[in-house]
Chains A and B, each alone.
Chain A
Amino acid sequence: DVKVTQSSRYLVKRTGEKVFLECVQDMDHENMFWYRQDPGLGLRLIYFSYDVKMKEKGDIPEGYSVSREKKERFSLILESASTNQTSMYLCASSLLSTRHEKLFFGSGTQLSVL
């Protein structure tokens, strides 16, 4: 089975801190995604990547950046954390680079910014 691993289950950070959320997948998937999930707003796409060193902005990229130096790892960076970035962050991956196939999710990171 595909495994998508997010490094932290829960994180508590202070306003202004730089925060790194790590995601690793073990099935050689080309596509990787970062979503945030908030009550009443559903899942919203932050960034995605379809190849190493490639990235594209999603619907809500402001305040975030990403890094994909290796195919299996996709990192989400909060340059200066703010309280409105308190959320559940979900990483996902899928196989094909040109068309969507089944999407596999990690267990999520619940981030609280105080």
Chain B
Amino acid sequence: KQEVTQIPAALSVPEGENLVLNCSFTDSAIYNLQWFRQDPGKGLTSLLLIQSSQREQTSGRLNASLDKSSGRSTLYIAASQPGDSATYLCAVSPDTGRRALTFGSGTRLQVQP
């Protein structure tokens, strides 16, 4: 059974810092990996999707990388801002079988002004 782990569970940084969030998964037979953002009490918003054949995806100040063989992904946030404060979750979809994502528990990020 696929397991997704995110470390750290919480992170606090001063505004302007670059930071990296980590995601690892146990089964490398994935089709894609997504990073989501969740604000308190709200639903999830998809930030980046990386297909298993890709190494990275970029959107603005966000860059997500994928190393499928080692079961790892990172989300890099450049020049962090207080508005980036949220919980960030990664999720993987399987290469075969059930068509549903497995989520990590998330990293709660706080960017201090």
Q: Is A31 an interface residue (CB 8 A)?
A: yes
B residues 24-69 in Cβ contact with A at 8 Å: 31-32, 34, 36, 41-46, 49
Q: Is B105 an interface residue (CB 8 A)?
A: yes
Give the residue of A42, A99, A103 whose beta carbon is less than 8 angstroms from that of B34. Answer: A103
Are B43 and A106 in touch, CB under 8 angstroms?
yes
Q: Is A79 an interface residue (CB 8 A)?
A: no
What is the interface residue range for chain B against chain A? Answer: 20 to 34
Q: Is A74 an interface residue (CB 8 A)?
A: no
| A45-87 vs B, Cβ < 8 Å mask (1 yes, 0 no) | 1001010000010100000000000000000000000000000
* Residues of chain B contacted by A35 (CB below 8 angstroms): 103
Are B44 and A90 in touch, CB under 8 angstroms?
yes
Q: Is B11 an interface residue (CB 8 A)?
A: no
Q: What residue of chain B has the Cβ atom nearest to residue A35's Cβ?
A: B103
Q: Is B7 an interface residue (CB 8 A)?
A: no
Give the residue of A31, A40, A102, A110 whose beta carbon is less than 8 angstroms from that of B99. Answer: A31
Q: How distant is the Cα of A4 from the Cα of B45 in the complex, in angstroms?
A: 11
Are B105 and A105 in touch, CB under 8 angstroms?
no
Q: How distant is the Cα of A35 from the Cα of B99 in the complex, in angstroms?
A: 14
Are B34 and A50 in touch, CB under 8 angstroms?
no
B residues 65-113 in Cβ contact with A at 8 Å: 89, 91, 93, 98-101, 103-106
Residues of B within 8 A of A (CB): 31-32, 34, 36, 41-46, 49, 89, 91, 93, 98-101, 103-106
